[in-house]
Every structure is written in structure tokens, then in C-alpha cells.
Amino acid sequence: MEVEFFGEKKQNKRLGQVFLKDQNVLNKIVESAQISSEEVVVEIGCGQGWLSLNLAKRCRKLYIIEIDPYYMAETQERLKEFSNVQFISGDVIRTGFGQIEEPRFKIVANLPYQISAAFVKLLITEKLRIKETVLMVQDEFAKKLVSKPGEGLYSSLGVYASYFLLTEYLFKVSRSCFRPVPRVDSAVIRIRSLEAPPFEVEEEVFFSLVRSAFWGRRKTLVSCLSKSPYIKMDSAFKQLPFFQKNATIRGEILSLQQFYEVYQVLKEAGLL
């Protein structure tokens, strides 16, 4: 089933916006969020308001953060019968959730592709306020977050996210479900905050190490650490027994726990 569209506004390519037109997928997203009638929900980027309509029917309070005044006006018209909806004009990446009055809330959104990585970082910053997040993102981005060591889309972003968050790939959404039709498929993911990180590190140093390991794809960890623009490493690290033994290991096959082991080796040697 497709929902009816109105308005002739063209896609704002700067925001990477595409609009979901398949009511079955909209229902599936809302069902995945498991929204009770007492819950507060925040939607990021309402677009033409079809997901907003589904959310407003389910929750006690819906906050909609939208940067584009055209789509805000369109969604306000569509939801004019609902008294439980509050609109906030602004860029969520810049403002965060400071205008949300509730202490805790869920997030449900069809996220503009171009803000996906920045939004995950925002979720980490605001993790104490967010019960859980259900997002539709580009399929490749979703797989970067959930890929395992050695898989093609395993990334430093995925390692970073897994230190703070538990991410679950729920289902794929075909590009044909959107208007305008994008060049890529999408996916819906669920994100929950971990109660505590799996170990304690100096985060800036640790994640500089992780980024360095992915800096040169298919290069050895030793080579990446030697030449990385993210961290300055004394060449003495190459003489440590760990690196002598693992001279050919590549960073993209290391798990989060193994990165911690590398961090500890360098830390104990006074090289970080």
C-alpha cells in the first residue's frame, strides 16, 4: 500500500532526504519501536509526515525536530488533529535534545543519510536520556555498525559505536519504497546504550589508536601505526614482543577487546 503525497517541493539534496511511501514498512518501523501509550517519542526529520502520523497515534507525546520549514508546515497540517505533538525547528546535530522537556524518551526516525555518523555520535553524548533508538539509515551504513572483524564493512565507526552502544540490524528496506528513489537500499536498526563500557580507557587516545588501525586498509597494524595521521607513535613500539609476534596482523581483523589488548601493551610500555 502506498500513501498519498501532496506538494511539489523537490528533494533537498543537501540534507540527503528521501521519503518513505510504503505503509507496510512504516507500520513495521513503528512496531519495532514497541511504543506504549505512555511513552515520549522524538522523531528527527519528519519529511512529509507519514511516519509522524503513525507515531502520534501510539505515544503520549511526540516531539518532531525538523530543519526544513516547508516540511514542518506540511506535517503540521497533516497532524493538526493531534494535541500530543510538539514541533521544534532546528538542526539536531547542532542543538542536540536541549529543547526536549522530558527526561527520557525513545527516538524513531528515517534519518537523512548525510547526518548518520554524526547522529550516532550524538546518541552517545545523550545516551543517559535515550531509552532506545529505531532508525532507518542507508543499508551500507547499518552494516558498518554491525559488521564483525574481518568483514568487508567492518570499520572504526563500528568499533567506536560498540564501545558505547548495542546495535541490532532489524530489516532491509528496498530503495523502491522511497520517493524519490535513491541509489541505495536502506535498513532499520535498533540502538540501545550499554549500561557501562566494557573496559576503561583514555577514550581520545584509544579511539585515535582504532582510527589509525583502519587508516590503511589491507595494511598491517604495524604499518598503520607507523604512518598514521591520527597518532604519533615512537618507532620503538615495533620492537615490543607483541608486535614482533604479530608483525603481519591487520587492524581490520581486531575485535574491540583485541584493540584494548593492543592499547594495554602500548600503555604499559609507556608509548601512549
CA distance 37 to 51: 16
pLDDT digits (tens, 9 = 90+) for 108-160: 999 888 899 999 999 999 999 999 999 999 999 999 999 999 999 999 999 99
Mean pLDDT, rounded, for 244-255: 96
Site of grid cell 514542518? 72
Q: Please report the pLDDT score of residue 1 as a whole number.
A: 34
The values of phi and psi at residue 51, to 5°, are -70, -40
pLDDT at 218 over 90: no
What tens digit of pLDDT does each residue of 30-71 get? 999 999 999 999 999 999 999 999 999 999 999 999 999 999
* Domain ranges across the chain: 13-193, 203-268
pLDDT recorded at residue 20:
85
Positive or negative torsion for Cα 83, 84, 90, 91? negative
Asked if pLDDT for residue 10 goes beyond 50, the answer is no
Instruction: Report the pLDDT value the prediction gives residue 15, as an integer from 0 to 100.
Output: 46
pLDDT band at 13 (very low <50, low <70, confident <90, very high): very low
Cα separation, 182 vs 44, in Å, equals 19
Report the CATH architecture of 13-193. 3-Layer(aba) Sandwich (3.40)
Say yes or no to pLDDT of 11 above 50.
no
Mean pLDDT (the chain) is: 92
Superfamily of domain 203-268: rRNA adenine dimethylase, C-terminal domain (1.10.8.100)
pLDDT at res. 109: 95
- HEC-encoded secondary structure of the chain: CECCCCCCCCCCHHHCCCEECEHHHHHHHHHHHCCCCCCEEEEECCCCCHHHHHHHCCCCEEEEEECCHHHHHHHHHHCCCCCCEEEEECCHHHHCCCCCCCCCEEEEEECCHHHHHHHHHHHHHCCCCEEEEEEEEEHHHHHHHHCCCCCCCCCHHHHHHHHHEEEEEEEEECHHHEECCCCCCEEEEEEEECCCCCCCCCHHHHHHHHHHHCCCCCCEHHHHHHHCCCCCCCHHHHHCHHHHHCCCCEHHHCCHHHHHHHHHHHHHCCCC
Q: For 189-212, what is the mean pLDDT?
A: 97
**pLDDT at 112 (0 to 100):** 85
Residue 4 has pLDDT above 50, yes or no: no
